[in-house]
DNA sequence: GTAACTGCAAAATATTTGCATCCTT
DNA sequence: AAGGATGCAAATATTTTGCAGTTAC
């Protein structure tokens, strides 16, 4: 699996460079967690999985940097635990463009970005104008059914 | 306006009684804030508007009680500030049933429940089954346009 | 009178900031 | 070398818990 690993590593570097970020251990590690993961990650998940390796503050700052650069986006959920997920390529510092929906499993609490499902258009009441639609579906995921 | 006030007060009592909650000052006051308000309220809003009247802890506990009883529901937002809004009559301790969408104004940050707009059905990928759909639209509201 | 509710104090968590040091370019 | 990133300590902010006193029924 040396090939795959090299490729993954290259991808990390590429993403960081594209966003004019210095290549550092913490950024590589945290970004890797996102890449090797289907779902979204909360701040706590990252601290756990990084394995005591980074300071809590570094995780906060790195996530903030990634959000600012449009590398990850925030998924709002009702349980007050902010989750982050990788953005598609069409996100950037200028603006996020994540029109897909999110899915949170009631059972395992994994959070997925369903990239292929686009948020539907909504007819708003008179006087309102929409700029962005955020949509989260709760239910049972493919692994828990 | 004595009539209106009496009616509003009656409504407060009715809601609390329906949920077998004791009628207390803090519950009346906090519930009143929701009733006299078009949009949703965050914990902080309530502390401010209640006017130093209640302990912070009481606000936390009262909101928790209201959520448990199905009197208010939580609106998830990306800014990590949980907002609460009154539920329609079809919510209860057994389960929330808020199928309407929410609207957050980019300008004034007021959060509305658009009760008349029902969340659309979503076709999920194979293996996923949805139980509940949460939808938040961001944009400019009727008062800020 | 009894159970439920509140306020206060304090603990437990979570998040932010300042600064000296270290790393990337 | 210079600017940026990290770690540590500490300041803030947020939320939870225990308990004694008070209130609703």
Q: Sketch the domain layout of chain A as residue ranges.
A: 2-139
Q: Across the interface, do B128 and A82 touch by the CB < 8 Å criterion?
A: no
Average pLDDT over residues A127-142: 91
Q: How far apart are CA A103 and CA B100, in angstroms?
A: 18
Are A74 and A82 in contact by the 8 Å Cβ rule? The answer is yes
Q: Would you state the pLDDT for residue B91? A: 60
CA distance B136 to chain A (A): 5
Decide if A129 contacts A111 (C-beta within 8 A): no
- Per-residue pLDDT, B38: 78
Q: Which residues of B touch A75 (CB under 8 A)?
A: 78
Give pLDDT tens digits for B99-136.
788 898 888 888 888 888 888 888 899 999 998 888 98
Taking CA atoms, A43 is separated from A25, A61, A91, B13, in Å, by 17, 11, 21, 41
In chain A, the N- to C-terminal Cα span, in Å, equals 31
Tokens of B15: 């809601």
Size of interface A-B (CB pairs under 8 A): 120
Whole-number Cα distances in Å, A124 to A41, B41, B100: 32, 21, 12
Which two three-digit tokens encode residue A84? 């982050």
CB-contacted nucleotides of strand C (7 Å): 4-10, 14-18, 23-25
pLDDT for the residue A92: 62
A2-139 CATH fold: Arc Repressor Mutant, subunit A (1.10.10)
Q: CA of A51 to nearest chain B CA: how many angstroms apart?
A: 26
What is the rounded CA–CA span in Å between residue B97 and residue A57? 39
């Amino acid at each position: 699996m040396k090939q795959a690993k090299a490729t993954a590593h290259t991808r990390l570097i590429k993403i960081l460079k594209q966003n004019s970020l210095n290549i550092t251990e913490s950024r590589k590690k945290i970004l890797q967690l996102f890449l090797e993961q289907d779902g979204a990650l909360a701040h706590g998940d990252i601290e756990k999985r990084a394995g005591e390796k980074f300071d809590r503050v570094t995780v906060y700052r790195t996530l903030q940097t990634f959000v600012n650069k449009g590398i990850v986006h925030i998924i709002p959920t009702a349980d007050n635990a902010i989750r982050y997920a990788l953005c598609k390529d069409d996100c950037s510092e200028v603006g996020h463009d994540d029109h897909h929906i999110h899915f949170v499993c009631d059972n395992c609490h994994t959070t997925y970005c369903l990239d292929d499902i686009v948020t539907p258009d909504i007819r708003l009441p008179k006087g309102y104008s929409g700029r962005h639609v955020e949509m989260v579906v709760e239910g049972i995921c493919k692994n828990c059914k």
